[in-house]
Amino acid sequence: MIVKDLSFSIFIPESMIQERVWQLGQQINQDYVDRSPLFLPILNGSFIFAADLLRTVNLECRVSFVKHASYQGTASTGQLKTLIGLNESIFNQDIIIVEDIMDTGLTLSKVVEELRSLGTRSVEIITLVRKAPARMHAVQPKYIGFDIENEFVLGYGLDYDGLGRNLKDIYKQVPGETA
Ligand code: 5GP
């Protein structure tokens, strides 16, 4: 398959994604029994994963879609610097950050650090895909869909230059092949 100027081949088929997402949902249901977590899916990439995952979760829970703040200048006290769009109170909450893919893990480590410093009860990460470099990082997700090597992937919410988010399967770039 060609997207823009790159070739991609199928990597993780829809059926495998759906099965894994269901398993992750069951783990969360067990781990958070009698809790009421706040899910924070990170836009744009995690919108499809979050929609599928949350339909397997049978806990009382809240969801607030957020974005990384690109500008991290001075913010007034009590305001989040790393995320925008968070309308729920995070004090004493069990937070589950929903990420599409962790590459270096650098972006999320700042988010986790900040959320932990603002009086949350717990902060965990679920990522659909973790790339090899993220395995070396100090901030580790509690839930991981698929561990992959350092390859560029596309589909199921993940884009290449804005394209391909709507694909049902996950594709990987065929190295060296351009359109
Ligand atoms: P990190 O801070 O973990 O290095 O950055 C993770 C972000 O980089 C992801 O949220 C995603 O936007 C982007 N990213 C990293 N690897 C890939 C990839 O293989 N495919 C796509 N589509 N985005 C990626």
Provide the CA 77 distance to its chain's centre, in angstroms. 27
The set of residues, in sequence order, having a beta carbon less than 8 Å from that of 71 and lying 6+ positions away, is none
Q: What percent of the chain lies above the pLDDT cut of 90?
A: 74
147 flagged as catalytic: no
Establish whether residue 50 lines the binding site of ligand 1, counting it when its CB lies within 6 angstroms of any ligand atom. Answer: no
Mean pLDDT in residue range 46-51 = 98
Catalytic residue among 103, 147, 159, 161: 103
Establish whether residue 103 lines the binding site of ligand 1, counting it when its CB lies within 6 angstroms of any ligand atom. Answer: yes
Query: pTM score > 0.85 for this model?
Result: yes
Mean pLDDT in residue range 10-39 = 98
Mean pLDDT in residue range 64-86 = 71
CA of 60 to the centre of ligand 1 (A): 30
In the predicted structure, residue 8 carries a pLDDT above the cut 60: yes
Mean pLDDT in residue range 163-175 = 96
pLDDT at residue number 71:
54
Which residues is 99 bridged to in the sheet? 127
Could you tell me the pLDDT band of residue 79, with boundaries at 50, 70 and 90?
A: low
CA of 63 to the centre of ligand 1 (A): 22
The set of residues, in sequence order, having a beta carbon less than 8 Å from that of 139 and lying 6+ positions away, is 105, 108, 109, 112, 125
pLDDT at residue number 74:
44
CA of 105 to the centre of ligand 1 (A): 9
Q: Please, what are the domains in the chain?
A: 2-71+82-178 (3.40.50.2020)
Could you tell me the pLDDT band of residue 70, with boundaries at 50, 70 and 90?
A: low
pLDDT at residue number 135:
80
**Matching residue, tokens 């659909």:** 128
Q: What percent of the chain lies above the pLDDT cut of 70?
A: 92
Tokens of 44: 């744009």
Ligand 1, atom 10: closest residue by C-alpha: 101
> What is the amino acid identity at position 83?
L
Ligand 1, atom 12: closest residue by C-alpha: 45
Establish whether residue 137 lines the binding site of ligand 1, counting it when its CB lies within 6 angstroms of any ligand atom. Answer: no
Establish whether residue 101 lines the binding site of ligand 1, counting it when its CB lies within 6 angstroms of any ligand atom. Answer: yes
Write a three-state SS string for 150-167. Answer: CCCEEECCECECCECCCC
Ligand 1, atom 15: closest residue by C-alpha: 103
Which residue from 165, 164, 166, 134 is spatially nearest to 150, judged by alpha carbons?
A: 134
176 Rama sector, left if φ>0, alpha if ψ -120 to 50, beta otherwise: left
In this structure, of 26-35, 76-85, 141-150, the range with the lowest mean pLDDT score is: 76-85
In this structure, of 15-24, 48-57, 62-71, 77-86, the range with the lowest mean pLDDT score is: 77-86
List C-alpha distances in Å: 30 to 50, 96, 124.
18, 14, 15
86 contacts 80 by C-beta, under 8 angstroms: yes
Mean pLDDT in residue range 128-153 = 91
